[in-house]
Amino acid sequence: MIDVRLTAVLLAVSSPVFAETVQTERVSYGMASNFFDPLSNNLIAYKTETKYDEFEQGEDDRLKLAAMHCFGSFVIVRGITSGGGNCTLTDVNGDRVLQAWRIDHVTLGKGYGTWSFIGGTGAHEGITGRGYFLNEETARSGIVKITTTGTVTWPE
């Protein structure tokens, strides 16, 4: 009897944990509310908050979004951009994912950077992922389009 229990425990401990890793590409559309403060030509502060409610994504994407809310800040000091923030992603079932982002470079109306998933709830508990983004904004209207690419892994 002890041998059977010990064998069961060893099998449970030594069984591999399978995960699903997929490539992802998503285009999201929303509205930004920003604060821009050019202290000088060499020192600029920027605070951003964007709510996304329209998404183009693959039919088989496990993270089917209903909403995304991003916020953060960055500075441009002598032409060098640094900063970041977070996004909360909510899927069509109400499960959520927390994402971090870093801005690497900005040009007129565009921001380039990296993102990574910190964790999630419900169907996305244990999610990890990382990739790149291109954020395009029309300054006068506040309309934003963000394209994200990368890899996402769910534990099984």
Q: What is the DSSP letter of 62?
A: S
- Amino acid letter at 56? E
Q: What is the CB-side half-sphere exposure of residue 140 using CA atoms within 13 A?
A: 0
Render pLDDT for 83-123 as a digit per residue (tens, 0 to 9). 999 999 999 999 999 999 999 999 988 999 999 999 999 99
Q: Give the start-to-end residue ranges of the domains of the chain.
A: 20-155
- Amino acid letter at 127? I
- Amino acid letter at 129? G
| Number of neighbours of residue 114 by Cβ within 10 angstroms | 15
Question: Percentage of the chain surpassing pLDDT 70?
Answer: 88
Task: Indicate the average pLDDT of the chain.
Answer: 89
> Residue 91 has what pLDDT?
96
Query: Which positions ≥6 away from 85 have C-beta within 8 Å?
Result: 48, 70, 71, 72, 73, 100, 101
CATH number (3.40.50.300, 3.20.20.70, 3.30.565.10, 2.40.350.10) of 20-155 reads 2.40.350.10
What is the model's pTM? 0.85
